[in-house]
Structure 1
Amino acid sequence: MTRQDTTKTALITGASRGLGLALARSLAADGWRLILTARGADALKPVADELGALAVAGDVADPGHRDRLAHAVHDQGGLDLLVNNASGLGAVPLPPLAGYPIDALEDLFRSNVLAPLALIQLTLRGLRERRGAIVNISSDAAVEAYEGWGGYGATKAALERLSGVLAAEEPDVLVWWVDPGEMNTAMLADAVGAEEAAAAAGPESVVPTLRRLIAERPASGRVRHE
């Protein structure tokens, strides 16, 4: 369809829980049109129903699913914001690099690096036209050497490098790669245990940082939530 109103549209991956869900709720409260995706349709549907959003369930590592998301963006009339939040943790318990299963690492790069880039490629034309923005969710593991986090950290370091180069190549699109810090999420619990994860702040604590970026539109770059 050709959009006639001024409502802004966001596509958020990994939107059924954690930071993706918290951001989706915040944007919906301000009247954004939302396209939400996550692997679990059963978890995603009630979120979409709650927020009046379009749910497109599937795995962003699947090219066919990414095509469906691109079609959804076109049908909604364009895109103002792409949030690459979906992410895998990799092998658990977190193994040292000396014993990291290479097939698991390949899968992790597909999910955490190639999938976000491919989705950017599919939606970039629309983002350019609307002078939109991209938020790639990163991690302090991208820049710090934590034992056991080599596989996950390597994918986030790669995502950060892609983000920086994309920012240099695409002057009409803002690109922010955001380190949210530790959050009390299912992923962190899988990595360090539920008790330690529970001591971290909830993902909703990061939303004000993201909303400031979206509202104030600073120059592209790395952003660390404090």
Structure 2
Amino acid sequence: MTKNALITGASRGLGLALTRALVEEGWRLVITARGVAALDQVTAELGSAQVTALAGDVADAGHRKLLADAAHGLGGLDLLVNNASGLGTTPLPPLADYPIDDLTGLFATNVIAPLALTQAVLPGLRERRGAVVNISSDAAIEAYEGWGGYGATKAALDQLSNVLAAEEPDVAVWWLDPGEMNTAMLAGAVGPKEASGAPDPESVVPTILRLVRERPGSGRLAHR
């Protein structure tokens, strides 16, 4: 049976690397990212009829409905990867100075949107005994100066994942800390020079593929 996946933040970084890998393995995909041009470039590169690309913001309820409808059109999902994420205010400020409006928006993108999208596709995940991968961070559990806003959103996502795993025994739920990766997000936080020394996102893909293949118990995992 052909496997179906929905990947957010699929135009670059880990989302793009995972998209490429799943296409090679014959999966049918729904992918999304905010940038229309970047997503068009991905679909042109892949050249696969197995990929449905829908540009938009996962924080927008109307866009999430489009994604859920596309997933339903495939017959439900075997895998949902909530990878899209915002960094928040840059340069990274201390919590004493964090703009509250920015933090509110960051929670909408990093916490509310993944939960809402999961809710929207959960019936199909249950039917197919699928899995959810929520991309977390070590900033969710460590106290790094300047990372309080972003880390707080990832800590919240971790706990939502933890409870979802307890409530949905037919769905595997993993919240994955991929470690530092050489991505545009990391460059935005620490600068391109320092980010360039981190591993490429492709190095994390085998960990996710192994999770899907071996289906260990739900839980928090760290790629190392």
TM-score over 0.5 for the pair:
yes
Q: CA RMSD in A?
A: 0.6
TM-score where L is the length of structure 1: 0.97
Deviation at 1:137, TM superposition (A): 0.1
State the distance in 2 between where 1:212 and 1:62 align.
31
| Unaligned ranges ≥5, structure 2 | none
Specify which of 72, 82, 89 is matched with residue 74 of structure 1. Answer: 72
Deviation at 1:208, TM superposition (A): 0.7
Residue matched to 1:103: 101
Q: Which moved more, 1:71-80 or 1:163-172?
A: 71-80
Q: Which amino acid aligns with 1:120?
A: T
Aligned: 1:148 with 2:143: no
State the distance in 2 between where 1:180 and 1:91 align.
22
Residues 118-133 of structure 1 mapped to structure 2, 5 A cutoff: 118-133=116-131
Aligned: 1:217 with 2:215: yes
Residues 12-91 of structure 1 mapped to structure 2, 5 A cutoff: 12-51=7-46, 52=48, 53-91=51-89
Q: Which moved more, 1:91-100 or 1:41-50?
A: 41-50
Deviation at 1:8, TM superposition (A): 0.4
> Does the CA contact (< 8 Å) of 1:14 and 1:39 recur in 2?
yes
Q: Which amino acid aligns with 2:189?
A: A
TM-score where L is the length of structure 2: 0.98
Deviation at 1:74, TM superposition (A): 1.2
Deviations, residues 131-168 of structure 1 (Å, cap 9, x unaligned): 00000000000000000000000000000000000000
Q: Which moved more, 1:106-115 or 1:70-79?
A: 70-79
Q: Which amino acid aligns with 1:86?
A: A
> Does the CA contact (< 8 Å) of 1:7 and 1:31 recur in 2?
yes
> Does the CA contact (< 8 Å) of 1:13 and 1:37 recur in 2?
yes
Deviation at 1:75, TM superposition (A): 1.4
Residue matched to 2:165: 167
Deviations, residues 165-217 of structure 1 (Å, cap 9, x unaligned): 00000000000000000000000000000000000000001011111101100
Q: Which amino acid aligns with 1:9?
A: N
Residue matched to 1:3: none
Residue 123 of structure 1 aligns to a residue whose secondary structure is helix
| Unaligned ranges ≥5, structure 1 | 1-5
Give the ranges of 4+ consecutive aligned residues of structure 1 lying more than 4 Å apart after TM superposition: none
State the distance in 1 between where 2:40 and 2:2 align.
22
